[in-house]
Amino acid sequence: MLSTAEALSTLLSAASPINGTESIPTLDALNRVLSADVISPLDVPPMNTSSMDGYAIRTEDLTTDSNRRLPVSQRIPAGHAPEPLKPGTAARIFTGATVPPGADAIVMQEQTEAAGNEVTILHSPAPGEWITAQGADIRSGSIILPAGTRLTPQALGLAASVGCAELQVRRRVKVAVFFTGDELTMPGEPLKPGAIYNSNRFTLRGLLEKLGCDVTDYGIVPDRLDATRTTLREAAQAHDLILTCGGVSVGEEDHVKPAVEAEGRLSMWQIAMKPGKPLAFGAVRRAAQQTDAATSAETFFIGLPGNPVSSFATFLLFVRPFVLLLAGMRTVAPRALSLRADFTQKKADRRNEFLRARINAAGGLDLFPNQSSAVLTSTVWGDGLIDNPPNHAISAGETVRFIPFSELLN
């Protein structure tokens, strides 16, 4: 069996960013991936600004105690251009307003006494005090968001702060998904004897959509080789990835494996992980008339195991980084935390275990009591996965590697 690291390395080595970019309004670019660097055309802030409500002064005017009372020569709200500050005067100024030429410090209003058109300065400021210098945040010509950045709300705000009305992004990754199994039933339909509700359809579609994919759901495909091959051929024409769940074993009713082999190529991996283990990776040929010099002749294929926790875990650990690389992201590894285990697991497994756990009020980790690959409850109860090495029993108090769902679902 392949180790988790070996399988992930092999999978990711096959991925490269998809072709196709577009320019879209910055307001509509949330969760998209930049295809080009965002370079600031200006300094931010574009001028010296006040960090406080108060008074702009020239520090050289406060040479003696007798010079503490100054006439107020102007009032400067944010968004208004000031006049140069006359020597021996102060300017009433507000947070975010432009510091007038000649002023070199701001005295906050709590350290002054105003009376009529004059103000008494009760504090001796240092030059530069409470002034945000031009370019303190961003310098003109600097890269503020590199290509490959996934655009968060704060990244959109940063782009807007330098005047970017549109951004160059990669097109969305197009993923086709379908499910095989005559036992599968959709919620709302009668549950016949021997049937189960198709929870994986809801989980995997949600995961793909959360990654920003353009998803085509072919639903439940009948357990027939011809039907499976037809769906694969159709899905290959307009998608970057085909994702399936179940049906890749060698049983008489498992038609996905022979169908992919007939329509393309397939590698079956046994991965030394729990939950998970079986994973299929390959590609489906596209019709010749559908390809050109800029289009791949194949569509990637990934087949996940059918147990709900297994498909969930293998998606997060393998499909997620693969899709993010297709989308053009440069960094796809989730960040892990080192946290204390507040439980004991005496039995070690020969495989790399990914245990569902959650953070307790004391900052340690509690373990979900049933780690079966069929117990989907654990994925809702938990905050993430403990990455437990093979042949390692966990003792209460030891430090373990914990990957939060907040990282794996991002």
Question: Quick one: 94 and 175 in the same domain?
Answer: no
Bridge partners of residue 196, in order along the sequence: 184
Q: Is the peptide bond before 334 cis (omega within 30 degrees of 0)?
A: no
- CA–CA separation, 385 vs 403, rounded Å? 5
Contacts of 405 (CB under 8 A, 6+ apart): 382, 383, 384, 385
> Tokens for 61?
């005017």
What's residue 194's pLDDT?
84
d(Cα 188, Cα 343) in Å, to the nearest integer?
A: 40
- CATH number at 148 reads 3.90.105.10
CATH number, domain at 82?
A: 2.170.190.11
Boundary (domain end) residue, out of 283, 301, 326:
326
Helix pair 256-263, 225-237: axis angle to 10 deg: 50
Do 157 and 205 fall within a single domain? no
What distances in angstroms separate CA 288 from CA 179, 213, 231, 236, 364, one per listed residue? 26, 25, 17, 11, 56
345 and 386 fall within a common domain: yes
Contacts of 345 by beta carbon, 8 Å cutoff, 6+ apart: 355, 367, 388, 393, 394
Select from 154, 79, 68, 142 the least CA-distant residue to 107: 68
Greatest CA span in the chain, whole angstroms? 99
Domain membership flag for residue 331: no
Same domain, 10 and 58: no
For residues 58 and 65, give the distance between their C-alpha atoms in angstroms, rounded to a whole number.
Answer: 15
CATH number of the domain where residue 198 is located: 3.40.980.10
Domain boundary among 79, 110, 132: 132
Query: Of 302, 326, 350, which residue sits at a domain end?
Result: 326
Same domain, 127 and 187: no
Nearest to 181 by CA among 243, 244, 266: 244
* Model pTM score: 0.87
Residue 252 has what pLDDT?
Answer: 47
Residue-number span of the structural domain to which 366 is assigned: 337-408
Residue 229, classed as helix, strand or coil, is helix
Whether residues 71 and 112 share a domain: the answer is yes
Distance CA 101, CA 48 (A): 9
CB 322 within 8 A of CB 316: no
Going residue by residue through the chain (410 aa), what tens digit of pLDDT does each one get?
899 999 999 999 999 999 999 999 999 999 999 999 999 999 999 999 999 999 999 999 997 666 789 999 999 999 999 999 999 999 999 999 999 999 999 999 999 999 999 999 999 999 999 999 999 999 999 999 999 999 999 999 999 999 999 999 999 999 999 988 778 888 888 888 888 888 999 999 999 999 999 999 999 888 889 999 999 999 999 999 999 988 665 554 578 889 999 999 999 889 999 999 889 999 999 987 555 555 679 999 999 998 999 999 999 999 999 999 999 998 999 999 999 999 999 999 999 999 999 999 999 999 999 999 999 999 999 999 999 999 999 999 999 999 999 999 98
- Contacts of 281-289 with C-beta under 8 Å, sequence gap 24+, read 281/10, 281/11, 281/14, 284/232, 284/233, 284/235, 284/236, 284/242, 284/260, 285/236, 286/236, 286/237, 287/233, 287/236, 287/237
- 150: which strand partners? 33
Tell me how far apart the alpha carbons of residues 128 and 139 are, in angstroms, rounded to a whole number.
19
Count: domains in the chain:
4
